[in-house]
Structure 1
Amino acid sequence: MSTPSTDAPLSGRRAQAARNDAVILDAAREVFMAAPDAPVSAVAHAAGVGISALYRRYASKEELLATLCLDGLRRFVEIARAARDTADPWGAFEALLRGVVDADVHSLTVHLAGRFAPTPEHGALAEEAGRLAGEILRRAQDARAVRSDVVDTDLPMVYEQLAAIRLGGPARDAALRRRYLELHLASLRADAEAHGALPGHGPSQAELGARWQREAGTGAAR
């Protein structure tokens, strides 16, 4: 076992590095949500760090965008795992949607899809996120809590519609998203199906996935 005097400086450096990284990522999210084409220098300015310090951590804008989206996927998975543990099937479904909307993870999809080349880690996390959400949806449908004509790929569209609400700053946007989430939840309940079936069909996995590949390797993430 290492002595405290040996561990403390390393632990402190790691803690400081983690804090610096969090500041950069928070700044990057704020900058790129407002203007996806903004340069990396805008992120450095917002984070209060030098551009060289930022590039030591992230070699390119594409790498920074990829990290932001990884964080979003990880957060989605955390929310979905917690929701899955809710005993009541409707409660689990509602917790999933409320958690995802409140965390605003799908703003990353709306703004950043196609601006970097996804990695296998992105794919694995996306697969897990989809699997967990699908389990929660089907359990709610089996319990006759959610309408039967909703499919897994409908849910990302709900998230993205709500994430697109941007009118009056973060607090106002969050309040409006919660308001319109209530409308979505009412329409997703099983008894809403009595008013008629949903028209058409939900998007395919290929349609959803194509957005992330559209500009990969084209230099869009300069």
Structure 2
Amino acid sequence: MTGNTLSGRRAQAARNDDAILAAARAVFIAEPDAPIGEVARVAGVGISALYRRYPSKEALLATLCRDGLRRFVAIAEAAREVAGPWEAFVEFLRGVVDADVHSLTVHLAGRFPPTPEHRELAVRAGALESEILHRAQRAGVVRGDLESTDLPMLYEQLAGIRLGDPERIRELRRRYLDVHLAGLRSDAAGYGPLPGAAPTQAELGARWNRPAES
């Protein structure tokens, strides 16, 4: 077997993998309970080609979630370098919402067993998120009664906007993120303190627990 043949096969395998992951994102973001065969159909590959790369639906979901967590960390690390605390906070939230990271993480939670890498990435993501928020609060530009555990609830609300084509969805999510941002500024505290308590880490973490088999 020649080197050119091997290179050609590797290139085809890489193309197949890209197609599978793109199809999986589209299929499982729309319907997490969709069968894995639907991913193969949308990707235009045979089911055997899919199973050679991902032996189960759980393995595919775990990969999507890992990629989403990596993307979240990259967005947060980039936002952390922005000079202004408010600008960094806005850059971070817009990056997370635009990338639809929530749909690749919590939206898929409980459907596969998290790995140590998932947990490490989640811890890193949470630390960066808290750092960006607390920096903005120390600068007096974000209301002080906002907790870092409140932010995932904002992502969840905005990820629920699925009206129209992708460009329209992006536009609407940006619109309503700006509504949220107006209420997150420190001068919005004139409306009074936030009612109730922020979600606990235990409440947020419970969503990653796999449901018991019936």
Report TM bin, short chain. Answer: over 0.9
Out of 89, 94, 101, the position equivalent to 2:90 is 94
Written as runs of structure 1 = structure 2, the 5 A alignment for 1:1-222 is 14-109=10-105, 111-215=107-211, 218=213
Over the matched positions of the two proteins, sequence identity in percent amounts to 69
Aligned residues: 213
Which residue type is aligned with residue 138 of structure 1? Answer: H
> Which moves more between the two structures, 73-82 or 11-20?
11-20
Superposed displacement of residue 215, structure 1:
2.2
Which one is further off, 76-85 or 11-20?
Answer: 11-20
Structure 2: 5+ residue stretches without partners: none
Structure 1 alignment gaps of length 5 or more: none
- Cα gap change, 1:10/1:148 in structure 2, threshold over 3 Å: closer, same or farther? farther
Measure the CA separation in 2 of the matches of 1:117 and 1:63.
9
Larger RCO (CA within 8 A; separation ≥ 6): 1
Residues 187 and 120 (structure 1), Cα distance of their counterparts in 2 relative to 1, 3 Å cut = same
Whole-angstrom CA distance in 1 between matches of 2:62 and 2:211: 13
RMSD of the alignment, in Å?
A: 1.8
- C-alpha distance in structure 2 between counterparts of 1:116 and 1:184, whole Å: 32
SS in 1 for 2:148: coil
Do 1:116 and 1:215's aligned partners in 2 also have CA atoms closer than 8 Å? no
